[in-house]
A and B are shown apart, each in its own frame.
Chain A
Amino acid sequence: MAIEVTMPQMGESVVEGTIAKWLVKEGDRVAEDQPLCEISTDKVDTEIPSPAAGVIAKIVAAEGETLPVGAVLATIEEAGGATAAAVPAPEKEKPEVAKPAAEAPRPKLEPVRRPATGEARVAVEKPEAVAPVAGKPLKATALAKPAAVPGDHRRYSPVVLKMAAEHGIDLARVPGTGIGGRVSKRDVLKYLESLGQPALRPAPSARPQPAVTPLAAPSAAPASPPTPSVFHPPVYEPREGDVVEPFTRRRKLIAEHMVYSKTHSPHVGTVAEVDVTRVLALRQAHKAEFERREGFALTLLPFVAAATVRGLKEFPRMNASVVNDALVIRKQINLGIAVDTEEGLLVPVVKAAEGMSVVGLAREIERLRRKVAEKTITADDLSGGSFTLSNPGREGNLFGLAIINQPQVGILRMGEVRKRPVVIEADGTDALAIRSIMYLALSYDHRVIDGVLGNRFLFRVARIIEQADFEL
């Protein structure tokens, strides 16, 4: 059965895409979800995964062609389909040979190649395509193309493999400018620069070298520092039924950001217990009237946002960026609010939050939330944050330590609110009470924020929330 590959909808405002590069050619056998081609639009660059396992019957759209959403790019003969064997490749060369072959009864080879099940959803056909090599990084080509795509015979020089391992590079993504598209050391350096990674020269191997004079006495000097060991995750062993989901561009950027943050900022996490009973009561008192007036529900989030903004005003060093070797204290408070979306996390930014009331914050958060949902969020909405507040939802979330949004120096993360028995002091005596408690966790960058400051800031924000002294 023929399946059409079409230009996907890549966002509300995206109406067309350009074929940047075909990753397969006619006659190639492809696995489901295997990237078929690279598409670029004015908003995103992405790869189109194969909708099914099978053989590329025809490529309709040429590289460089710009086509509307929904346009047919290629057709795939599904692996389990009756005409799957009618690969067009042979007829180009010797039709007279191909013809009798097509008419003759199938050679016994054929049933073996079919998936055992009638179902054609076999993303991984040939586990042996990924041969583990001791001490070598798993070639990303293996992950991206588990079905051993013909034509991918890239070989890499020792130094390129070494650099790929050191920097965790997917070599399949590195454009090669050497003879026959070979990826050279220079190409890897350029690629690293394009990622914004520090394009370090590859560290020369630090193994001991034979001395110039072989008679030299064994040196008693301390050994040269050991080569930092590069961890390689276990080699991926494909199994039938595995689904390979290549990173989207956004996922890749998120991944790089998170790794950068964790490796550059020593995170310290600290957690406060916040009694939100009063603020919830305040919310309850204004809830109905607020929703009628504003058209959306009043949640706990704008109260916590308002308390955060007040805390940042009192502790301006928390509202800062690390720029090279300096701490830049930002005057304006631009509060990022982490929002979960289908395509990954987005952090729209409430600009100039220092002048906003709870209502103002609520309106701005709602406006941004809606833009995210409608996919009309712009790059401006997502940039310029000076501090971030994350509210990942209630369930299964006592508390968690978020990763700092670079180059900021701290991030607050709301935990779940639950009624708990707590000891309170009333009129000089202790008493048990049932209160609504939220755990509020602060992660801060210990390069620039010391523990005392981090604690005081968190304690202050917690107290502001508990006091619930907000205008509504």
Chain B
Amino acid sequence: MRGAAMEITYIQAINQALHEEMSRDENVFVMGEDVGELGGAFKATEGLLAAFGEERVIDTPIAESLIVGAGVGAAVLGMRPVVEMQFADFISCAFDQIVNMAATLRYRHGGRASCPMVIRAPSGAGVHGALFHSQNPEAWFTRVPGLKVVAPATVYDAKGLLKAAIRDDDPVIYFEHKRLYRSLKDDIPEGDFTVPIGVAELRQEGEELSIITYGGTLNQCLDAARIVAKEDGLSVEVLDLRTLLPLDREAVLKTARKTGKVLVVHEDRLTGGFGGEIAALIAEHAFEDLDAPVRRLAALDTHTAFSPPLEEYILPNTNKIVDAIRSLAAY
């Protein structure tokens, strides 16, 4: 049972998780550009400096490789750093530290060392941020063993997954969607709870087809499911992956086998996006239960434009999901 409910935003959930984890465990500290004095570009770390002091809330130079590299070192020595990429778009600067250092650490030491670090990465488009402030780079990391990759889509998961990530003994990249920061509000229980990493959540049960999604597109998918339920009488199942790595394969295959028709939706680009992995998994292991080819709806294979109409054209949205559902249902 959840405790007393309290309505907060997605970003407040992140802020709460940081406050609570830093209070709970003195080894937890945050580090990043403007996370201290400014309280973060998006105010995710607001109030932490006052509460925990500058030894545990560290403003860094604009150098993502340094931020992650320092985090790896601290983590090896037993700290639990939560480092922030101001925008996930800049995570590429820290790529070597993440995929070659953090991700391989446990393996290189034969399991005798670990890297309990969280990399918070504000990602996603739909906020007119143009090409350097709109990216969804999760697929660069979902093929790297040693990493965990999560992408909360609800206020509850934003808090619970961040807390679980901080307590995890391996490096976790935590993709938080900027569009959800203040647009998403929910009543969530006060106090301590976590959301298990590696477990997907069925957001809506349905019969005709399944949507598999995560992060910023979950609510669009749920809206689309409501529209087709009302206008077309279609019963759509919606699975929220929540964690991309390790993937909850059982949940993916279960819904695919149940309905036989799967639509994968994500905001990342189509080609090389995580949807391809989902589609391949289903084709390999649930082929006999398929009633239609697996469909993917994702951003177009181009940069996210600054122009609002162009941005709208490039990204998935509720109307596009409704169309995709209808065409798949008719197959």
Contacts and interface: CB of A to CB of B under 8 A. Distances in A.
Contact of A178 (B253, B286, B288, B330): B330
Given A159-B260, A160-B291, A201-B258, 17 more contacts: A157-B291, A157-B292, A158-B287, A158-B288, A158-B291, A159-B290, A162-B288, A162-B289, A182-B331, A202-B260, A204-B254, A209-B249, A209-B253, A209-B285, A210-B249, A210-B285, A213-B246
A185 B288 CA distance: 12
A229 to B, nearest CB: 15
A420 B286 CA distance: 65
B248 interface: yes
The 3 closest A-B CB pairs, nearest first, are A204-B257, A185-B291, A157-B291
Contact of B290 (A157, A186, A210): A157
18 contacts: A158-B288, A159-B260, A159-B288, A159-B290, A160-B291, A162-B289, A182-B331, A184-B291, A186-B208, A201-B258, A202-B289, A205-B286, A209-B253, A209-B285, A210-B249, A210-B285, A212-B249, A212-B250
Prevailing SS type, chain A contact patch: loop
Interface in B220-266: 246-250, 253-254, 257-258, 260
Nearest to B289: A159
Interface residues of A, number: 19
A161 to B, nearest CB: 8
A82 interface: no
A182 B292 CA distance: 10
Interface of A: 157-160, 162, 178-179, 182, 184-186, 201-202, 204-205, 209-210, 212-213
Contacts of A202: 260, 289
B198 interface: yes
Interface of B: 198, 208, 246-250, 253-254, 257-258, 260, 285-292, 330-331
Contacts of A162: 288-289
A162 B288 CA distance: 7
B289 A184 contact: no
Nearest to A201: B258
A205 B331 contact: no
A157 B331 CA distance: 10
Nearest to B330: A179
Given A158-B288, A159-B291, A162-B288, A185 B260 contact: yes
A186 to B, nearest CB: 7
Contacts of A160: 291
B103 to A, nearest CB: 16
Contacts of B198: 212
A157 B260 contact: yes
A159 B262 CA distance: 13
A391 B257 CA distance: 50
B209 to A, nearest CB: 10
B330 A205 contact: no
Contacts of B247: 212
B22 to A, nearest CB: 31
Contact of A212 (B246, B254, B287, B289): B246
Nearest to A184: B291
B311 to A, nearest CB: 32
Contacts of A205: 257, 286, 288-289
Nearest to A187: B291
A73 B247 CA distance: 61
A48 B292 CA distance: 34
Given A186-B208, A212-B249, A212-B250, A204 B291 contact: no
Nearest to A161: B288
A184 B290 CA distance: 10
Nearest to A160: B291
B317 to A, nearest CB: 24
